[in-house]
Amino acid sequence: MERVLETRAGTCILVDADVSEPVDIDWFDPAWWQRRGAVRQQLGGRGQALLLDAPIGELVLRRFQRGGLVARFSSDRYVWQGVDQTRSFREFRLLQRLRERGLPVPAPVAASAKRQGLFYRAGLLTRLIPEARELAGLAEALSLTQWRELAGTLDDFFAAGLWHPDLNARNLLLDAQGRWHLLDLDRACLRAAQVDGTKMRRRLARSLEKLAAPGWRPGFDATLGKDL
């Protein structure tokens, strides 16, 4: 469930219905959290993610940022096509749908879309996945069982129809209980039927080549890489 709020300065905010604390436009402003000493860590990445100590617990704030050549002209502005088509609202709702299916993704808290003429800027707040580490830093040390569990998790997403155009070793996290989680679903979508995950696994392999320490390949090849 969700509720939509309209705030000052032309901003729309989408909030999870279970959040009792009032969520305002300030919640999407890193400087507002910094003035309160509530920024615990900068998590990095193009989205400039921050780990926050919020009134409702530990949250991750991600501001949507462009990559590639287009970022030279506009690093964080997108063409306005209606609030329901904003990247933040779409990702919020996709996360909700995936969680309803029991798939391991972060819990969405709120999304913002601030319109400025023909463009908008966007942000997303999610619950922190505690004690979780990126695949990029773990791959060399993973057991074959852990690789198989990762393969099974990805197969669950593909069976549900998820298409993720940026599956990489930084947006897969392993928590302290040994469960894998998928992050950063900007531009991802749910299709009506099961999808073939071959291209996504190939992209994951390329990111591991760039990011992981030597020695990651055997477990990957034995599980995810059989048909690559």
pTM equals 0.92
CATH of the domain at 112: 3.30.200
Q: Domain residues for 187?
A: 133-223
Which element (helix H / strand E) includes 52? Answer: strand 49-54
Which residue pairs, CB below 8 angstroms and at least 24 apart, start in 46-52? Answer: 47/184, 47/186, 51/128
Which residue carries 């928590």 as its tokens? 175
Is 204 part of a structural domain of the chain? Answer: yes
Q: Are 89 and 154 in contact (CB under 8 A)?
A: no
Same domain, 82 and 45: yes
pLDDT of residue 70: 43
- Residue 195 identity (one-letter amino acid): V
For residue 31, tell me if it sits in a domain.
yes
Q: Who's near 147: CB < 8 A, 6+ residues apart?
A: 219, 220, 222, 223, 224
**Region of residue 48 (left: phi > 0; alpha: psi -120 to 50; beta: else):** left
CATH of residue 171: 1.10.510
119 with 145, same domain? no
Mean pLDDT within 110-135: 95
pLDDT given for residue 12 in this prediction: 93
Same domain assignment for residues 119 and 28: yes
Does 166 qualify as catalytic in the annotation? yes
Catalytic residue, candidates 16, 166, 186, 227: 166
Closest CA to 124 of 16, 9, 17, 20: 16
Q: How confident is the model at residue 228 (pLDDT cuts 50, 70, 90)?
A: confident
Do β-strands 2-6 and 11-16 pair in parallel, antiparallel, or remain unpaired?
antiparallel
Whether 149 is covered by a domain: the verdict is yes
**Domain check: are 123 and 62 in the same one?**
yes
Among 127, 151, 182, identify where a domain stops.
127
Q: Looking at the structure, do residues 110 and 143 belong to the same domain, yes or no?
A: no
Domain total for the chain? 2
At 53-110, the pLDDT tens digits run 999 999 999 999 865 444 445 578 999 999 999 999 999 999 999 999 999 999 999 9
